Chains A and B, each alone.
Chain A
Amino acid sequence: MPPVRFTREHEWIRVEGGVGVIGITDYAQQQLGDVVFVEMPEIGSTVSKGAQAAVVESVKAASEIYAPASGEVVAVNDGLVEEPGKVNADALGEGWFFKIRLTDPGELDSLMSEEAYAEFLGSLH
Chain B
Amino acid sequence: MRYLPLTEADRRAMLDAIGVPSVDDLFCDVPPPARLQVPVDLPFHLDEPAVERAFHAFAARNISPSAVPTFLGAGVYRHHIPAAVDHLIQRGEFLTAYTPYQPEIAQGTLQYLFEFQTQLALITGMEIANASLYDGATACAEAVMMACRIARRRRIILSGGLHPHYRATTETYCRFLGIDAVAMPPSWTGDEDPAARLDRDAACVVVQNPDVFGRVRDYSALAVACHAQGALLVVAVNEVVSLGLLTPPGEMDADIVAGEGQSLGNSPSFGGPTVGLLAARERFVRQMPGRLCGETVDVDGRRGFVLTLSTREQHIRRDKATSNICTNSGLCALAFTIHLTLLGELGLKRLGELNHARAIALFDRLAAIPGVEMLNETFFNEFTVRLGQPAANVVEALAARGILGGVPVSRLLPGWSEAEPLLLLAATELNTDDDIDALVSAMREVL
Contact = CB atoms under 8 A, between A and B. Distances in A.
The reply to whether chain A is a binding partner of chain B is yes
Interface of A: 37, 39, 42, 52, 55, 57-62, 64
Contact of B311 (A39, A42, A52, A58): A58
Contacts of B316: 61-62
Contacts of A58: 311
The 8 A-B pairs of least Cβ separation, nearest first, read: A62-B311, A62-B317, A61-B311, A57-B311, A62-B312, A61-B316, A37-B286, A42-B152
A47 to B, nearest CB: 14
Contacts of A62: 311-312, 316-317, 320
Interface string B295-328: 0000000000000000110001100100000000
Contacts of A64: 320
Residues of A contacting B: mostly: strand
Most buried by A among B152, B311, B312, B317: B311
A102 B317 CA distance: 29
Interface residues of B, number: 7
A59 B152 CA distance: 25
Nearest to B320: A64
A57 B287 CA distance: 12
B311 A60 contact: yes
Contacts, number: 20
A57 B316 CA distance: 11
Nearest to B317: A62
A30 B5 CA distance: 52
Most buried by B among A42, A57, A62: A62
Interface string B391-413: 00000000000000000000000
Contacts of B320: 52, 55, 62, 64
A22 B152 CA distance: 22
A5 B415 CA distance: 60
Contacts of B317: 61-62
Nearest to B287: A39
B73 to A, nearest CB: 41
B310 to A, nearest CB: 10
A39 B322 CA distance: 13
A55 B316 CA distance: 14
Contacts of A37: 286
20 contacts: A37-B286, A39-B286, A42-B152, A52-B320, A55-B320, A57-B286, A57-B311, A57-B312, A58-B311, A59-B311, A60-B311, A61-B311, A61-B316, A61-B317, A62-B311, A62-B312, A62-B316, A62-B317, A62-B320, A64-B320
A108 B152 CA distance: 29
A57 to B, nearest CB: 6
Most buried by B among A37, A58, A60: A37
Given A57-B312, A61-B311, A64-B320, 14 more contacts: A37-B286, A39-B286, A42-B152, A55-B320, A57-B311, A58-B311, A59-B311, A60-B311, A61-B316, A61-B317, A62-B311, A62-B316, A62-B317, A62-B320
B274 to A, nearest CB: 30
Interface string B192-208: 00000000000000000
B219 to A, nearest CB: 28
A2 B312 CA distance: 36
A56 to B, nearest CB: 10
Contacts of A60: 311
Contacts of A57: 286, 311-312
A78 to B, nearest CB: 15
A37 B287 CA distance: 12
A55 to B, nearest CB: 8
A125 to B, nearest CB: 24
A52 B317 CA distance: 14
